[in-house]
Structure 1
Amino acid sequence: MNKGDLIDKIAEAAGLKKADAAAALNATLETIADTLKAGQKITLVGFGTFDVNYRAARKGINPSTQKEIQISDKVTVKFKAGKELAGTVDNKDLRTSLKAAADKKKKK
């Protein structure tokens, strides 16, 4: 699903015009980004938590050349699914299809 598809689903579920759904989604995403940029955590009970994390500089290996490279420090965003979201996603049908896809990939 891409952003346009998500806007369509939101508009349909909330009974909104697509333009209104797009404005609401854009405002939500902008607010999340601004809050994280300020170093604050966002907790949506039942859905999950967005937080920022500092990653120190480290040495790595370029897989193409096998040469050592320096990876600079940076701030990353992490998301931890809430209990309700995790429970909704963890269903037997999805687990079975994802397991089959992983097994098929291993065989290649």
Structure 2
Amino acid sequence: MTKKDIIEEVHQRTGLPRILVRDVLRTSLDIIKECLKRGEEVKIVRFGKWQPVLRKTKRVKHPTSGEMIQIPPYVKVVFKPSQEVKKI
């Protein structure tokens, strides 16, 4: 399902104008992204939570040269579904 499909489905179920639904969805997604950039957890009850997790520096072997290289620390976003969503 794409963002366009979600907009159409919400429009069909609620009768709200597509443009309004699109703007609300875009704004909601922008807010989620901004919170994650700030390092905050985003939790939607009965759906799940997005959580930024800091990955530590690690040393790995370069696949072609075979030399050991160091990967700097980075932030990865992890999604944990709620119990309700896990049952699907």
Aligned residues: 87
Moved over 6 A (4+): none
Mapped partners of 1:62, 1:15: distance in 2: 55
Mapped partners of 2:65, 2:21: distance in 1: 48
Q: CA offset at residue 79 of structure 1?
A: 0.8
TM-score normalised by structure 1 residue count:
0.70
TM-score normalised by structure 2 residue count:
0.83
Taking only aligned residues, the RMSD between alpha carbons, in angstroms, comes to: 1.7
Mapped partners of 2:65, 2:80: distance in 1: 33
String of CA shifts for 1:37-59, please: whole Å, max 9, x gaps.
12111221110011110001212
| Equivalent position SS for 2:30 | helix
Greater per-residue strand proportion: 2
Greater per-residue helix proportion: 1
Q: Which runs of 5+ in 1 are unaligned?
A: 90-108
| Equivalent position SS for 2:46 | coil
Percent same amino acid among aligned pairs? 30
Mapped partners of 2:37, 2:55: distance in 1: 15
